[in-house]
Amino acid sequence: MSERRMEENALFASREKAAGIVIRGLSMELYGRKLLDHVDLDIAPGKISGLAGESGSGKSLTGMTILGLPPEGAKLTGSVKYAGETELLGMKERERNGYRGRRISMVFQDPTSSMHPMLSIERQLTDGMRYHLHLNKQQARERAVELLRLVQVPEPEQALERFPHQFSGGQLQRIAIATALSCNSRVLIADEPTTALDVTVQAGILHLLKDLNERLGLTILLITHDLGVMSALADTIAVMRQGKIVEVGDRYDIINHPQHPYTIDLINSLPTKVEERMEAAGELGSSNAAWDAGTVENVDMNLDAGDASIPTIESPTKVSQAGETGAANGAGAIGKIDEEA
Ligand SMILES: Nc1ncnc2c1ncn2[C@@H]1O[C@H](COP(=O)(O)OP(=O)(O)O)[C@@H](O)[C@H]1O
Ligand SMILES: [Mg+2]
């Protein structure tokens, strides 16, 4: 185990334990139509749980319901529990605000959908932190820089001055992920996070999600219609059809030994075979074993410069302390940015 990894582990040991979500018997009816039908889903703490299924099967509705944002007029029954205890279903809006964006966050297919086109990246990133974490402008800005490093946006200081339209889709998705994590959420719902991106950019975002999962113990619900993406990343896969979970299991079992005819259809209907897709998505396929062994170093990512920022994600008050910023151990390709910091 490298020294860096040991340091990381020590940092994580002191962190709040990863939180999960347990959904039981969740049903949703809207204008007499049953959109979710007795959904049972475990989003295990510190794991990546996949939710697959064709378009219209109810995946996004499930995600939005966890977040407390079901469609207007939806009738909900069942249970959605956070961290094994807090019932989110039916929670008063006021109390909800303590969870949405603070315990549970969501990123979407189109990152611009959650961004204001006329606000700078600094405003997008810092508004939530100033409101929820009561940071002043300077503290929030410093933390925003750390967050952008964490998600590997190059030249974070300059990036803060820019506006959404000045970034590529992949960079914007990184910024959306940084924003989602800015107020210490323990659970990230990623709804088709790579669907709008081209294959090479997709791989980068998937690597990032895996890395955040490993380094922060971030719990992720990965929603996608694309089993290729899913098989490269998720620990478990649940398959949804017409508002029902039809099959759930370990990713290897679901991909290699699907039981339900619908899952078999889904796998067969992939534009190319899953293995080819995994290869197309860069090293994702071949690096699965490496990920499992915890050696993300094998994957072409440079995360060294982000290390020092990790404690500040959990404890914003430390952001301004000397020696706690990225400059402390800025090695590797983006070390140059660190020296400027
Ligand atoms: N706001 C809404 N009002 C009415 N019907 C909706 C709404 N959102 C989703 N639906 C319907 O619910 C079903 C599931 O949608 P959704 O969860 O978005 O599917 P998925 O994310 O799996 O593609 C679809 O038939 C969709 O038309
Ligand atoms: Mg959807």
Task: Please state, in angstroms and rounded to a whole number, the distance separating the CA atoms of residues 63 and 65.
Answer: 5
The number of the ligand 1 atom at minimal distance from the alpha carbon of 63 is 17
Sheet containing 104-107, strands listed edge to edge, beginning at the edge strand earlier in sequence: 104-107, 187-191, 219-223, 48-52, 236-241, 244-250
Residue minimizing CA distance to atom 27 of ligand 1: 56
Looking at residue 11, what is its pLDDT? Answer: 33
| Residues less than 5 Å from ion ligand 2, measured at CB | 60
Locus of tokens 């990225």: 326
Residue 110 Ramachandran class (φ > 0 left, ψ -120 to 50 alpha, else beta):
beta
Has residue 275 got a pLDDT over 70? no
Task: Please state, in angstroms and rounded to a whole number, the distance separating the CA atoms of residues 264 and 260.
Answer: 6
Burial 120-159 (b: 16+ CB within 10 A, else e): bbbbbbbebbbebbebeeebbbbbbbbbbbbbbbeebeeb
The number of the ligand 1 atom at minimal distance from the alpha carbon of 57 is 22
| Lowest-confidence region among 131-135, 173-177, 220-224, 301-305 | 301-305
Question: What is the CA(326)–ligand 1 centre distance, in A?
Answer: 43
CB of 70 closer than 6 A to ligand 1?
no
CB of 59 closer than 6 A to ligand 1?
yes
Has residue 302 got a pLDDT over 70? no
Looking at residue 325, what is its pLDDT? Answer: 30
Query: Is 50 within 8 Å of 234 (Cβ atoms)?
Result: yes
**Nearest alpha-carbon partner for 52 in 227, 257, 299:** 227
> 234: pLDDT confidence band, cut at 50, 70 and 90?
very high
CB of 58 closer than 6 A to ligand 1?
yes
Question: What is the CA(61)–ligand 1 centre distance, in A?
Answer: 6
Question: What is the CA(242)–ligand 2 centre distance, in A?
Answer: 12
CB of 224 closer than 6 A to ligand 1?
no
Question: What is the CA(170)–ligand 2 centre distance, in A?
Answer: 19
Has residue 1 got a pLDDT over 50? no
Has residue 319 got a pLDDT over 60? no
φ/ψ of 314, rounded to 5, equals -90, -30
CB of 39 closer than 6 A to ligand 1?
no
Q: Taking all residues of the chain, what is their mean pLDDT, rounded to a whole number?
A: 80
| Lowest-confidence region among 11-25, 69-83, 246-260, 314-328 | 314-328
Task: Please state, in angstroms and rounded to a whole number, the distance separating the CA atoms of residues 123 and 14.
Answer: 30
Query: Is beta strand 75-82 parallel, antiparallel or unpaired with respect to 86-87?
Result: antiparallel
**Nearest alpha-carbon partner for 232 in 295, 279, 293:** 279
φ/ψ of 282, rounded to 5, equals 80, -135
CB of 73 closer than 6 A to ligand 1?
no
Question: What is the CA(40)–ligand 1 centre distance, in A?
Answer: 18
> 273: pLDDT confidence band, cut at 50, 70 and 90?
low
CB of 57 closer than 6 A to ligand 1?
yes
Task: Please state, in angstroms and rounded to a whole number, the distance separating the CA atoms of residues 145 and 178.
Answer: 10
Read off the pTM. Answer: 0.79
